[in-house]
Amino acid sequence: MTELEAAVQEIAAEMAARPDRGEVASYISELAGVDPGAFGIVVIDADGNAVAGGDADTPFSIQSVSKVFTLTLALGMVGDLLWRRVGREPSGNPFNSIVQLERERGVPRNPFINAGAIAVTDVILSGHQPREALGEILRFLQFLAQDDTIYVDRAVAESEKRTGFRNIALANYMKSFGVIANPVDFTLGVYFHHCAIAMTCRQLAMAGRYLAHSGRIPSTGSSVVSPERARRINALMLTCGHYDGSGEFAYRVGLPGKSGVGGGILAVAPGRASIAVWSPGLDANGNSHLGRIALEKLARRMGWSIFGTE
């Protein structure tokens, strides 16, 4: 057994046994019923070996982890023009906060808070029908993960739409400043549906490989983004990927990561590994409680940090 295999097995066993699990998100009613006892982890190393532990093959709602992939797509479509619509600074506020939008003329702080991700989705939607835009996002994930079975969980999307008052408010507020180009309903429809994509840890770790390997997928040699763009997406994940918990995540884990309220986290150890963890219980910032702890243990044990090599 390799050191990595031993680490993953031990962490999965420890996480499964821990009593402290956080609170499952309940503001999206469809997510409230998810088993808080679940824990999964998959690490894919530079040679393409997947090391899995726990519930590695159970699909979960990726929620805001989708925002990494929509950012990648939008940058591919409009390049740096994207930064006219969304900023690159940590918000220091909850993921669904509206407070900074007034001061900053409707331009959201970064692409990973809800307002920013809605603006990014609007860019992807422009020139397309909502159905096409969603298809584009889904196919991108299927391509990255090399898995056509990845799907949109319509029940989650509908459930989020029913109670998405805050996101509806954010989108309308941005629209009033001209930051949203398309009909608000269309943009939100695509946003709710891409948040409702269901993936397993194995699929998510596969999808994140390009970020760990300078924009390329090592096993196929295909280039997804330039090395510079991969570095920049990683920088945003580090500074903004965990909302108001981003500083703490960087301090404890030391790797770029993006969380979602479904309890998933995609983390990137540049040059080494793409890592997906899932545990549905959340901390006060809406980030997976055990997911973060598992990543902290893994990164420490393997000596993976972007801040030093030993």
Q: Where are the beta strands (DSSP E) in the chain?
A: 23-24, 40-45, 50-54, 60-61, 151-152, 197-199, 257-259, 264-269, 273-278, 281-282
Does the protein bind ligand GLN through residue 114 (CB under 6 A)? yes
Catalytic residue among 66, 159, 161, 191: 191
For 163, other C-beta atoms within 10 Å of its C-beta total 14
Q: Catalytic residue at 243?
A: yes
* Whole-number Å distance between alpha carbons of 152 and 261: 16
DSSP state of 196: T
Under 8 Å CB-to-CB from 73, ≥6 apart: which residues? Answer: 124, 136, 137, 140
- Is 191 considered catalytic here? yes
Tokens read off for 307: 């801040």
Nearer to ligand GLN, 182 or 214 (CB): 182
* Nearest CA among 207, 202, 236, 237 for reference residue 224: 207
Is 297 among the catalytic positions? no
The answer to whether 261 contacts ligand GLN (rule: CB under 6 A) is yes
Q: Nearer Cβ to ligand GLN, position 97 or 214?
A: 97
- Residue from 40, 44, 63, 116 binding ligand GLN (CB under 6 A): 63
The reply to whether 67 belongs to the active site is yes
Active site residue 210: no
Q: Does 122 bind ligand GLN (CB under 6 A)?
A: no
**Nearest alpha-carbon partner for 69 in 188, 197, 168, 243:** 197
Alpha-carbon distance of 45 to 34, in angstroms, equals 29
Structure tokens at 183: 């009909």
Binding site listing:
64, 114, 160, 167, 191, 243, 261
Q: Scan residues 196-255 and list those touching ligand GLN (CB under 6 A).
A: none
- Our CB check for ligand GLN shows the closer of 254 and 260 to be 260
Contacting ligand GLN within 152-191 (CB under 6 A): 160, 167
| Residues making up the binding site for substrate | 64, 114, 160, 167, 191, 243, 261
Tell the smallest beta-carbon distance from residue 103 to ligand GLN (Å): 22
User: Is 264 among the residues that bind ligand GLN (CB under 6 A)?
Assistant: no
Phi-psi region of 144 (alpha: psi -120 to 50; beta: other; left: phi over 0): alpha
Q: Does 288 bind ligand GLN (CB under 6 A)?
A: no
Q: Which one of 39, 69, 95, 140 is in contact with ligand GLN (CB under 6 A)?
A: 95
Q: Which residues bind ligand GLN (CB under 6 A)?
A: 63-64, 95-96, 114, 160, 167, 195, 260-261, 286
Q: Which residues are catalytic?
A: 64, 67, 191, 243, 261
